[in-house]
Chain A
Amino acid sequence: MSVISTTPLDGIDAAVAQRLLSTALGSGGDYADLYFEYDSSASYSFEEGRVRTVGRGVTLGLGVRVLRGDATGYAYTEELSTERMMEAARTAAQIASGGGAPAPVAIAPVSLPDFYPVARPWIDRPGADKVDFLRRADRAARAADARIIRVQVSFSEEWREILVVGSNGRWARDRQPMVHFGVHAVAEEGGKRQGGRSGGAARMGLEYFDRPDQSPEDHGKEAARLALCMLNAQDAPAGPMEVVLGPGESGILLHEAVGHGLEADFNRKKTSNYTDQVGQPVASPLCTVIDDGTIGSGRGSINVDDEGNPGQTNVLIKDGILVGYMQDHMSARHFGIAPSGNGRRQSFRHEPLPRMTNTLLAAGKDEPEDIIRSVERGVYAKRFSGGQVNISNGDFVFSLTESYLIEDGKLTAPLKGVNLIGNGPDVLRKVTMVGHDFKLSDGTWTCGKDGQSVPVGIGTPTVKIAEITVGGTKTG
């Protein structure tokens, strides 16, 4: 927890890496990589007008992966002693059997872009400065309205350093900052209570709060506004209807409806409903879907993925036609193409998988107002808490935390929390209008797959979907 001028990763040199890779490949594996990770985090929680708890933690470790065809051997250690690291390399090597001593690997650093420059780790700045952000958000939420009865604020920061060394000679080192801020407010009126949340995350330092609408006060007021708004929420309708997705957070639809299905592992194994459909129409011609790891300071952005390949911009669907999948090393090898910079892992304890970074629907031409005006009766979706998809059949659900009824082209009553349910390919074919108002969500989105969580970003303009099932309680 001391000031990070040097980190334990500085002690890893090419000779150590070469020795470990030789051991990892010693049983006949055809590829191996080392993943060193140092992660320092801090958290502050604020409740009932005071700083409740302050937390710090550090993890350090090495993951060793050995590939033999489509099979993976994986081992890790939290102790970076030669003995332990060699043991991990030997354990991972066991996926293969036989084979002689591999040729030594020539290692060269990969040059990387810098999509999230942070001059120094803010995490080591005095905590007292940060506590003030919590207090400011709390004050703003309480001041918003006398009906706000409770406020909770949390702030956390992470400084992660990784070093990936592959038996293909790649040596890639990155620093990945993350700051997260969140406010939860509870409003009460006449025995009714409702909660509201506001927050966000980005690969930044404390300059996070200097951006428009992202000050602690902004988040405090927004959480209070949502809680108050929900006090008057009506029961949501049930059944299929027109839905307008607001800009930003609605990108969760892309993430669930098409994103996961376009991860290469599911397509390599032919278990995705998008298997073997490259070059085919899979969405309305209005849809261009992009996975972009290069957005400045984006939550899902990566200078380099967790296999040593630079983050990049990948067009997944162009004007409705499926262009390609998100690749990790293993799947790219299978398809005989270049990796796309989507090989990510939760930590050194996890093997890499093809994962999304920031997944976006490109802007269209429609006026957002026209889109809303075109709906006689439907739902306008503004904020979401999350979603889930079944990869094999494409069915997905996502949960709305702020939505409104649209009646005769106007937003009317706020609706209680409700789910939208649909099928990915089906819903994307029903996109009938796309606005020009693209917005990247500032939310704290975390994607789970095979038990691994990674930070991701989402974004979309206003979108109209001709029909999707709204899972409310009000029938008829």
Chain B
Amino acid sequence: MTADSRSGAAAVPDSRDCLRLAEQMLSLAMKAGADGAEVLVRDGRELEVKVRLGDPELVKEAGSRGLGLRVLKDHRAAVTYTSDFTLDAMRTFARETVELAALAEPDPTADLPLREEMAREVPDLDLWDEAVLSLDAAEGIRRARKGEAAARAVDKRVTNSEGAVFGRTMGASAFATSAGFGGAFRGTNVSLVVEPVCDDENGKKRNGYHWTSSRFAALLEDAEAVGLEAARRTLAKLGSRKLTTRQAPVVFSPEAGRGLLGQLAGVISGGAVWRKSTYLAQREGTLVASPLCTIVDDPLVPRAPGSRPFDGEGLAARTNVVIADGTLRTFLCDVFSARKLGRRSTGSAGRGVGGGPGVTTSNFILRAGKTPARDIELLDDGLYVTELMGFGFNAVTGDYSQGAGGFWIEKGERAYPVSEITISANFDDLWKGLDALGDDLDARSSLQCPTFRVSRMTIAGA
């Protein structure tokens, strides 16, 4: 079998190979008696290199390939996965998956999408960079070393290091469904993170980090610049204090704000809506955020980290405006949640090898505003949040509370660093209370936002 003749971890994932395997499994599942089936095949290579105090600490390199199958038989669903691609094993796997479906109970809502819903083409989103292939372990070590060295050279107060990690991934993904679609795509990614450690008063240590990540090698930030910024961020935390309990305006850096955006992605998901597990369940068409807020889910951005040419059920990827000028325009739906809500899918299904489809975001973007980021901090007093900690969000009620760290602002300046505090508010008040939106969109990850400010939150501290 061709599938077994690849030259292992060094080889480059091939999306055509993946598609061929997906189609082969689809045909085996249909032959085994499935009424409908979907197959996802993923093939990836990872390289991870970690340097600490100048020496390589870890070099990890491997390839991994897996297949996920969903079958429907008499409107009953089973979901299985395997990494065994020998023909005999695939045949047995198909048969056993169809048998497994008998344990589920019939629900026509869970049937495959209709044929007319399926994607008709696979747009090229420019997600693969051939130049990434030449970034080997030796180059990774060189860059990690350079980044870490730059951070350590900044200031003698940088006394230690959690190291620098260079990562490189290459992956191919193929999807085939009996609903009438087969497609594949592939993507690359490279990243570098540097994490210095400083000694603070009272024996405390302070760590901080900075990272760069891109699908394209040429777009990666220079290693030295990453190290310098990491050191700057860490040094700025020295002398952190607690605040007393109070209410104040809160500015979120794009890094911290992304966490809030991720929580918001959960509560506009069709899956949470039909399950009545989100405070936004009956709020479509109403104001749910400040009129400054426009949030889109856009899988079609070329070269972006969360881009995908089709969704996890084989529907065409499309740009969805979720919140326009503060008004909730649509929930994001996969086929199942859309049927539950009596509507059509928004093409927002995601799925992994190990599970069935579910609503996911692609590039979830709070669009940049017009205020220069620096001006957002022009407050008599307020909190600038650079990091959030813990899990404190109740999606059903919107009650939100998280640990936070950052800076206290006085007269428009960051007066001193703060830590060991929590911030809290109800999510509805938080998003409606957004009163300034920066022009500095951070597009490094699939959750993207600029600096923004919330007019008032409760800060709990000393």
Please report A residues at the B interface, Cβ cutoff 8 Å. 1-2, 44, 50-61, 70-79, 83-84, 87-88, 91, 94-95, 127-128, 131, 149-150, 152, 186, 188, 192-195, 236, 238-240, 269-273, 349, 351, 385-388, 390-399, 416-419, 421-423, 469-475
**B83 in contact with A78 (CB, 8 Å):** yes
- Interface presence of B415 (CB below 8 A): no
Among the listed A61, A194, A387, A473, which residue makes an inter-chain contact with B83, where contact means beta carbons less than 8 Å apart?
A61
> Which residue of chain A has the shortest Cβ distance to B246 in the bound complex?
A475
**A395 in contact with B403 (CB, 8 Å):** yes
Q: How far is the CA of A245 from the CA of B77 in the complex (A)?
A: 43
A393 vs chain B, min Cβ distance (A): 5
Q: How far is the CA of A423 from the CA of B458 in the complex (A)?
A: 20
- Interface presence of B421 (CB below 8 A): yes
Interface string of B223-267 (1 = CB under 8 A from A): 000000000000000001010011100000000000000000000
Interface string of B363-399 (1 = CB under 8 A from A): 0000000000000000000000000011110101101
The 5 closest A-B pairs by CB, nearest first: A471-B422, A397-B390, A397-B403, A238-B460, A239-B245
**Stretch in B30-38, B203-211, B291-299 touching the partner:** B203-211
**A77 in contact with B460 (CB, 8 Å):** no
Chain B 412-435 residues near chain A, CB threshold 8 A: 419-426
**A78 in contact with B65 (CB, 8 Å):** yes
- Interface presence of B401 (CB below 8 A): yes
**A75 in contact with B60 (CB, 8 Å):** yes
Given known pairs A56-B100, A269-B160, the reply for A392 and B107 (CB within 8 Å) is no
Among the listed B100, B204, B422, B425, which residue makes an inter-chain contact with A54, where contact means beta carbons less than 8 Å apart?
B100
- Interface presence of B58 (CB below 8 A): yes
**B207 in contact with A271 (CB, 8 Å):** yes
B352 vs chain A, min Cβ distance (A): 11
Among the listed B59, B107, B397, which residue makes an inter-chain contact with A73, where contact means beta carbons less than 8 Å apart?
B59
Given known pairs A186-B396, A397-B402, the reply for A270 and B160 (CB within 8 Å) is yes
Given known pairs A88-B62, A150-B276, the reply for A238 and B204 (CB within 8 Å) is no
A470 cross-chain contacts in B, Cβ below 8 A: 460
Given known pairs A74-B58, A195-B396, the reply for A393 and B64 (CB within 8 Å) is no
**A186 in contact with B275 (CB, 8 Å):** yes
A388 cross-chain contacts in B, Cβ below 8 A: 389-391, 403
- Interface presence of B8 (CB below 8 A): yes
A152 cross-chain contacts in B, Cβ below 8 A: 275
**B246 in contact with A273 (CB, 8 Å):** no
**A58 in contact with B390 (CB, 8 Å):** no
- Interface presence of B217 (CB below 8 A): no
- Taking each of B97, B277, B392, which has the highest tally of chain A beta carbons within 10 Å of its own beta carbon? B392
**Stretch in B49-57, B143-151, B168-176 touching the partner:** B49-57
Please report B residues at the A interface, Cβ cutoff 8 Å. 4, 8-9, 52, 55-66, 77-84, 92-93, 96-97, 100-101, 103-107, 110, 137, 160, 162, 197, 200, 203-207, 240, 242, 245-247, 275-277, 279, 354-356, 389-392, 394, 396-397, 399, 401-403, 405, 419-426, 458-462
B343 vs chain A, min Cβ distance (A): 18
Among the listed A1, A74, A150, A421, which residue makes an inter-chain contact with B60, where contact means beta carbons less than 8 Å apart?
A74
B208 vs chain A, min Cβ distance (A): 9
What are 23 A-B pairs at a CB distance below 8 A?
A1-B96, A51-B104, A52-B105, A53-B78, A55-B78, A55-B80, A57-B80, A59-B81, A70-B57, A78-B65, A88-B62, A193-B279, A193-B396, A195-B394, A387-B390, A388-B390, A392-B205, A394-B204, A397-B390, A417-B392, A418-B401, A469-B242, A475-B460
A94 cross-chain contacts in B, Cβ below 8 A: 59, 137
Give the A-B pair count, Cβ closer than 8 A. 264
- Taking each of B4, B60, B419, which has the highest tally of chain A beta carbons within 10 Å of its own beta carbon? B60
B335 vs chain A, min Cβ distance (A): 14
> Which residue of chain A has the shortest Cβ distance to B107 in the bound complex?
A50
Q: How far is the CA of A375 from the CA of B398 in the complex (A)?
A: 30
**A238 in contact with B245 (CB, 8 Å):** yes
B60 cross-chain contacts in A, Cβ below 8 A: 72-75, 351
**B206 in contact with A269 (CB, 8 Å):** no
Q: How far is the CA of A55 from the CA of B355 in the complex (A)?
A: 8
Q: How far is the CA of A223 from the CA of B277 in the complex (A)?
A: 14
B460 cross-chain contacts in A, Cβ below 8 A: 238-239, 421, 469-472, 475
> Which residue of chain B has the shortest Cβ distance to A57 in the bound complex?
B81
Q: How far is the CA of A469 from the CA of B52 in the complex (A)?
A: 35
Q: How far is the CA of A76 from the CA of B48 in the complex (A)?
A: 13
B279 cross-chain contacts in A, Cβ below 8 A: 193
- Taking each of A61, A194, A270, A392, which has the highest tally of chain B beta carbons within 10 Å of its own beta carbon? A392
**A419 in contact with B403 (CB, 8 Å):** yes
Q: How far is the CA of A193 from the CA of B396 in the complex (A)?
A: 7
A276 vs chain B, min Cβ distance (A): 10
B144 vs chain A, min Cβ distance (A): 13
A127 cross-chain contacts in B, Cβ below 8 A: 100, 103
**A75 in contact with B197 (CB, 8 Å):** no
> Which residue of chain B has the shortest Cβ distance to A187 in the bound complex?
B396
Q: How far is the CA of A309 from the CA of B252 in the complex (A)?
A: 46
> Which residue of chain B has the shortest Cβ distance to A417 in the bound complex?
B394
Given known pairs A87-B9, A188-B276, A392-B206, the reply for A53 and B83 (CB within 8 Å) is no
A399 cross-chain contacts in B, Cβ below 8 A: 390-392, 401
A76 cross-chain contacts in B, Cβ below 8 A: 62, 64
A2 cross-chain contacts in B, Cβ below 8 A: 92, 96
Give me 10 other A-B pairs in contact (C-beta within 8 A), A94-B137, A239-B462 excluded.
A50-B105, A193-B276, A193-B397, A195-B396, A240-B461, A388-B391, A390-B389, A395-B405, A399-B390, A421-B460
**B356 in contact with A53 (CB, 8 Å):** yes
Given known pairs A53-B79, A71-B57, the reply for A419 and B246 (CB within 8 Å) is no
**B77 in contact with A349 (CB, 8 Å):** no
B390 cross-chain contacts in A, Cβ below 8 A: 386-388, 396-399, 419, 421
> Which residue of chain A has the shortest Cβ distance to B205 in the bound complex?
A392
Given known pairs A186-B275, A270-B160, A418-B401, the reply for A397 and B389 (CB within 8 Å) is yes
Q: How far is the CA of A48 from the CA of B288 in the complex (A)?
A: 29
> Which residue of chain B has the shortest Cβ distance to A393 in the bound complex?
B204
Q: How far is the CA of A199 from the CA of B104 in the complex (A)?
A: 22
